[in-house]
Amino acid sequence: MFEKQMNPQYEAHERLCKSIGDMAKENENLKQHVTELENRLRALWDKLEGERKHYMERISELEKLGDTLANCTSDNPYNARYAEQWWDLRGVKHE
């Protein structure tokens, strides 16, 4: 006890050990926080990837429907211009 009170090097050592312990604890907390953020990011990425696939499938279905409608309406002179616009939008040469 006497040595602890009288030795400034001992007190500095104690403060350093406490500081290292505090930094190690903070480091572990930060690592856990990073892991939680990574998990949240993965979950959001998976959700967005699922939504992207859904909308890409929907776009494909609508393109097929548009092609079908353009093929059906191109015989009617009134609707032929809409069919032509559709093919132009799609970038397709159509007769």
Q: Which residue has the tokens 């930060």?
A: 30
At 70, list the tokens: 């353009």
pLDDT at 17: 81
Query: Low-confidence residues of the chain, pLDDT below 70?
Result: 1-6, 74, 94-95
Region label for 7, one of left (φ > 0), alpha (ψ between -120 and 50) or beta (otherwise): beta
pLDDT digits (tens, 9 = 90+) for 38-55: 999 999 999 999 999 999
pLDDT at 40: 97
pLDDT at 3: 53
pLDDT at 95: 61
CA angle, 67 then 69 then 75, to 5°: 110
pLDDT at 84: 82
